[in-house]
Chain A
Amino acid sequence: MSNINNERIDETVFVNGDPYVNPTIQILQTIYNLEKYDFDKLINGKSYLNQAADLLYGICAGLFINMVVKFFGSKVDKDIIFDKWEVYAFFLSLALLIIILFFDHFIPSKKKQVIKKIKSHFNI
């Protein structure tokens, strides 16, 4: 704690102390007014590429499980045949997914626009 009285000061003064007390007013960030149009775009505004990517996630996961199970299964049970194409299929779908995600990153969509608008509002 310091008292500074009747002085002429020509440089930056550093004073110590806790600047904060409990506020009695609720400090809110400015509310973002989400309109129905924007909300709809958030829910349904995905680009076609993004929808295709969603589908490919599922395909990739399915092929991966199929590949792993068949590989280990073939070691245990001679009746299960593990084919090379199952590995190719998995990697092909994975490559396709990566390509689609890459392009989707650069292609604008309504959903991205709305998210960008909200982010800039909140300075995120």
Chain B
Amino acid sequence: MMVVEKYPANLKPLNKLVLCSNTFLGDGKVLVIKNYAPIVIGDGIVPSIWITVKVNNEIIPVVTNNKSSNPNVKVDIYEQLREVKIFGDGTLLIHAKMTAEKECVVNELDFRPLGLNIHGDCNVLNLASNKLTNNIFGNNDIHIVLDN
């Protein structure tokens, strides 16, 4: 059993997340790096986003439930469009949109400014040097583990 630290306790899980062309079903953890989840998306009027990074072996929350704790990271919420855009120093880090109840799609993702080699668009999800396209991940506790 993997231990995922600082995973949001008050997360309202999604039923379906389409992350850069890959579909994740169920309420499992989409991506885990060793012992933390860099990106967590939950249900809400707009997608509830948590972004976590690890610096010097310390797990640091950057965005907690759409609230930035870093002065360089800004969270823009568009309630009517049911969208969230998060910018780091002006660069788009993630653009997430609710498409239905408990369903969310992410077509723009770039965590490289945060020091994580995770990025993608509507066609491909890049995790380090791995490319994931059009996969369907069934109900699972943890979908992807990235480790070197």
Contact = CB atoms under 8 A, between A and B. Distances in A.
Interface of A: 1-30
A28 B143 contact: no
Contact of B138 (A5, A8, A20, A26): A8
A14 B33 CA distance: 10
9 contacts: A3-B130, A12-B143, A13-B144, A16-B148, A17-B148, A20-B116, A24-B89, A27-B55, A27-B60
Interface string B106-148: 0000001111111000000001111111111111111111111
A29 B116 contact: no
A26 B62 CA distance: 11
- The 7 A-B residue pairs with the shortest CB-CB distance in the complex, in nearest-first order: A17-B128, A23-B115, A10-B138, A1-B129, A15-B130, A5-B133, A24-B113
Contact of B114 (A2, A25, A29): A25
B73 A19 contact: no
Contacts of A11: 140
B130 A17 contact: yes
Nearest to A27: B55
B103 to A, nearest CB: 18
B41 to A, nearest CB: 18
Given A16-B148, A28-B70, A4 B113 contact: no
Given A4-B130, A10-B140, A26-B72, A19 B135 contact: no
Interface residues of B, number: 44
Nearest to A20: B115
B129 to A, nearest CB: 4
B87 to A, nearest CB: 10
A118 B131 CA distance: 42
B130 A2 contact: yes
